[in-house]
Structure 1
Amino acid sequence: MPFDGLFTHAMIAELRSKIIGGRVTKISQPFPNEVILTIRSQRHNQPLLLSAHPNYARIQITKIPYNNPPVPTNFTMTLRKYLENAKITAIDQLDNDRVANFSFATRNELGDELPLLLSIEIMGRYSNIVLVDQKDNKILDTIKHIGPSQNRFRTLLPGATYIQPPKQNLLNPFADESAKYLDLVQQFPNREMLAKQLQKSYQGIATAHALYLADSLHAVGDTSINWEHALKQADSPTPTIVGGSKNFFTFFKYDNDLNSENTESLSNLLDAFYQKKATSDRVQQQGSQLFHVIKGNLQKNRKKLKKLQQTMASTQKADILRIKGELLTTYLYQVKRGMTEIELPNYYDNEKLVKISLSNQLSPSQNAQKYFKKYQKLKNAVAYVTKQMKITKTEINYLEEVETQLELADPQDLPDIKVELQQEGYIRAQKQNKNGKVRKNKLGQPDTFYSSEDIKISVGKNNLQNDRLTLKMAQKKDIWLHAKNIHGSHVIIHDSQPSERTLLEAAKLAAYYSKARSSGNVPVDYVRVKNIRKPNGAKPGFVIYEGQQTLYVTPDEGEMKKMKKHD
């Protein structure tokens, strides 16, 4: 994933064409390490994503929607104080390093000009976003505070003097007057060796890009022209995702790679490449408590079910105990006090002899009563164990449903799932205001899609959304869909007579948002909403239905995205 100096150069060129001269209209920090500045430029709102994530640090214009947290961070408040309505005047790169500097023009409270610098340092786990007052070169705030104990060379704290990242003792490929690459080509005819030497000599070149440059230098024609042509692609990029076992993104044009895919812009490229990776990572991080709660309760209930099943298996001996008690009662005259066992004919089984253990401390009649008591105890246990097994299986089924929803969730779906677990008693509701009352979070809305025939389709992403969608939002004549006997989302077609094409598309959505997302042939039930009902006391998301029909479909992410784009 080479977001190296070359790619940074290409991305800055793209951003210059789109947001230079624009003004900041909105600032949000949807995640701890990521900020979105909404830039009003060229009559469009451009959401500029600045990420200091240790694995997915980047800069881009994003089309992926994000939810703004209810309480802004201190860094967000600082950015809003200084950058709201500020004008972007320049975007520069530090040599060919992964550092992008955004210059802003604004005014302070007294109306004096206040030049600001927002520096995004893309350096793996050391990535950071730093706001600097350029008048006195002082740091106003950073998204990650780095004290002297963590870094003696650079203190990144409010009020500290801003020091740029240390320069590397390497050449800038875009400003190399020595043309060192010519000597390297002569010395290293091997492709891999030449690529390594390019990385050792030039700044900001990842392995994938170094290999591409090595191929360009070894290509037929003038070496200098080949080098210049390759680097010029950073200003006229061909956004490409290169497939294979180690897929990566680039701005170079891969003509001969059958697994490559092109996008309209570098920003679209990063949205396509990072969406799944970053979303999954955020869900794992932000939902770690929820995953822990679900896995812990699942483990506890599965152990409980196993013990109940063992108890139920032991109750099968109840009839044997009853028979032994009856045989002792029938042949009581043969039983003597002090005996430890006796064999008696079983008149229920062709007079076969049955060995019966006895207690030498009890009388013959007490031994018979002992067997009857054990029989009655096991008989009473059957009803209790049967009830408990039903409750435990329901609990496991519910927890597995929530676990599936967590696995398929986007970060903005997690608050709803947390609220649900609080309501069900798995997580204690936290008191969040001064009066000691629990803050009521507003539930998210179901996802909206449109079929190729422009029919609205709604998809619940968690149990609370599923209940509200099916039982309150949908009309009785609408069509309800759900993956058959599989954990998944409720899907509603807001139409009383959908065509077969729309039904199939909605069924693919139901299959995609289910545990069977990766399967090839998924059964999906569909029925009118009027045939759906929720039993009293049922868990969130659980409904029963009748009169359903079944379709078999294969989930298709590409079709799902096309239906989502209409929204």
Structure 2
Amino acid sequence: MAIDGFFVKHLIDELIESILNLRVLKITQTRKDMFVFHFNKKGQKFYLNFKLNSPNASTFITDELKNEGDNYNTGFITNLKRLFESSFLNNINQHLNDRVIIFEFIINDFLEGKIKRELVFEIMGRHNNLIILENNIVIDAFNKSFNDKSRSIIPKIEFQFFPTNKSLLNEINYNLIDHPLYLSRNYMGFSTLLSKYLYDHKINLFETKVNPTLDTDSKDFYWFNLFNKESVKNFTTLSQLFTSIIYEPISDYRKQKNFINSELIKVRKRRANLETDLFEANKNIELKNIGNLIYASGKNLNEKYAHIYDFNNNLIELDSKYTLGENAKKAFTKYQKSVRAIKFITENIEKTNDLEQQLLDLEFFLSLENPNINEINEELISLGYKIKQKRINKNKKDSIELLTYNYLDTTIYVGKNNKQNDYITHKLSHRNDYWLHVEGASGSHVLVKSDNLSDELLYFSAMLAAKYSKLNNLVKIPINYTQIKNLKKIPGKHGSVVSINNYKTIVVTIDDNLINSVVIAKKLK
């Protein structure tokens, strides 16, 4: 994670300069995970944004409201409005050197006088949270959790910070640093990105000036430029940096997401109609027995009957406008149509299910950090998505940029969309390479370029399959794995859909610190 304790320290300095001691005029919720506090300072408007969900969870200031929808009516936004509107922002501080910001508000109550309330913003990856406190008692939280073995965040209990065994560091003694991750493993506030950089560049961190920087290739960012490359963009403030990476890219994907949601509604409605037709067709299968019963009844087939009885003396109603022979013929005709219909309907239900899964996969791939939007658009266009396409250079080679990790001297590829999944599974792989995928959910194909999968390599690769899956918010995530030779393409389905034999399952917990350390080691190698 690019945001560490030192990043938070400089972010707080920026917030204090802009909005300290100002009155909260209004609080709005502009997205499912985004809350905005409105301030005014001598006619100038300031908006304090809280983004809760990954990627890029953060708090920052904008000078205009990015009003993407103010129709949320959750209990949490109701409590924020009730408890903080008209209050004054009295203080902003950091818990130790951690990724925790404490906003202290004072409100004047007619009965109780001055009341102090706190808003604790925890930037902790999958555990991001915004917590309302009064007298250190939890009033409400964006993410509530109960755990009988560690801290809980539920109303009416005493608030506790995340426990840590790391120490505070006020001065860096470079003579003690014997490993790239020495600082991040032992001291609060050091991300793996910063720890690795300081191992190679022994700078005076405490005198380094703030220079918000975005790596335009990888989309990584930090509060000063530690990227040894030219493809960077600098910003005047950290808030401008966050505004750029949070608002600008997301607007690019809204049309795609709306198209996917619209298609999912159509697909599910179509399947419901097909399932109704299948139910009726299966009922008509029984008409064969009625036809046989009529012929076996021994009655005159040219006579008309309102009903007959079967061999168990059960009443079978007939259409009295027709003769027995005509009733039998109509029963056999409906039966034969139903047999043909069942096959047709069943095939279409399967195709509809496949299309639904493809749309869900695309929805998931769009949610990943830095998705390859061009490759995703290609697949969406094949499903009817309309987009203004740029003129294609036919001489340009169609290259695929893959997310690649190197762990224990082994290359691991991660597909971030169906095109990449198809490529690494069917074109880049060798039959003895190993393949991993989350069990029962959308996710990336992970290819390990090795025929020897040690326990350590297996667990790391499985963590990647878990991280790049729709189940990445779970604590325990099941991952299926096998060798490429045990996979087969399924005829009639797109290439990333495979059948799998002779596979095993491993359950993993994602270790973001380990994954990030491998990423940073590769970047700064």
1:329 aligned onto 2:284? no
Q: Partner of 1:124: helix, strand, or coil?
A: coil
Summarize the alignment of residues 279-428 of structure 1 with structure 2, pairs less than 5 Å apart: 284-331=250-297, 333=299, 339=305, 341-344=306-309, 346-347=310-311, 351-360=312-321, 362-407=322-367, 409-422=368-381, 424-428=382-386
Counterpart residue number, 2:403:
447
Structure 1's 454 and 322: CA in aligned 2 closer, same or farther, altered over 3 A? Answer: same
Instruction: Give the drift of 1:508.
Output: 0.7
Unaligned runs of 5+ in 2: 1-7, 19-45, 51-55, 67-84, 93-100, 107-121, 133-158, 165-187, 195-204, 213-220, 225-237
Instruction: Give the drift of 1:376.
Output: 1.6
CA distance in 2, matches of 1:473, 1:123: 48
CA distance in 2, matches of 1:526, 1:459: 14
Counterpart residue number, 2:14:
7
Instruction: Give the drift of 1:555.
Output: 2.2
CA distance in 1, matches of 2:91, 2:257: 45
Instruction: Give the drift of 1:440.
Output: 7.4
CA distance in 1, matches of 2:397, 2:267: 29
Counterpart residue number, 2:189:
262
Counterpart residue number, 2:494:
539
Structure 1's 486 and 437: CA in aligned 2 closer, same or farther, altered over 3 A? Answer: same
Counterpart residue number, 2:117:
none
Summarize the alignment of residues 218-233 of structure 1 with structure 2, pairs less than 5 Å apart: none
What residue identity is the alignment partner of 1:445? E
CA distance in 1, matches of 2:307, 2:262: 49
CA distance in 2, matches of 1:472, 1:54: 49
Deviates more, 1:326-335 or 1:275-284: 275-284
Structure 1's 343 and 281: CA in aligned 2 closer, same or farther, altered over 3 A? Answer: farther
| Residues 507 and 553 in structure 1, CA contact (< 8 A), matched pair in contact too | yes
Unaligned runs of 5+ in 1: 12-52, 58-63, 65-97, 99-120, 127-191, 200-207, 214-239, 248-255
CA distance in 1, matches of 2:242, 2:11: 21
| Residues 415 and 424 in structure 2, CA contact (< 8 A), matched pair in contact too | yes
CA distance in 1, matches of 2:86, 2:463: 49
TM-score (norm 2): 0.56
CA distance in 1, matches of 2:251, 2:396: 23
CA distance in 2, matches of 1:542, 1:54: 45
What residue identity is the alignment partner of 2:424? L
TM-score (norm 1): 0.52
CA distance in 1, matches of 2:326, 2:420: 61
Counterpart residue number, 1:457:
412
CA distance in 1, matches of 2:275, 2:103: 62
What residue identity is the alignment partner of 1:426? G
Counterpart residue number, 1:529:
484
Point out the structure with max Rg over C-alpha: 1
Summarize the alignment of residues 266-277 of structure 1 with structure 2, pairs less than 5 Å apart: 267=212
| Residues 89 and 105 in structure 2, CA contact (< 8 A), matched pair in contact too | no
Q: CA RMSD in A?
A: 4.7
**Percent identical across equivalent pairs?**
21
Q: Partner of 1:458: helix, strand, or coil?
A: strand
Structure 1's 559 and 356: CA in aligned 2 closer, same or farther, altered over 3 A? Answer: same
Summarize the alignment of residues 63-82 of structure 1 with structure 2, pairs less than 5 Å apart: none
Instruction: Give the drift of 1:10.
Output: 8.3
CA distance in 2, matches of 1:564, 1:337: 84
| Residues 325 and 372 in structure 1, CA contact (< 8 A), matched pair in contact too | yes
Instruction: Give the drift of 1:513.
Output: 0.7
CA distance in 1, matches of 2:405, 2:492: 31
> Cα deviation per residue 1:194-222 (whole Å; 9 max; x = unaligned)?
966899xxxxxxxx888499xxxxxxxxx
CA distance in 2, matches of 1:381, 1:241: 55
What residue identity is the alignment partner of 2:14? F
What residue identity is the alignment partner of 1:355? I
CA distance in 2, matches of 1:523, 1:375: 45
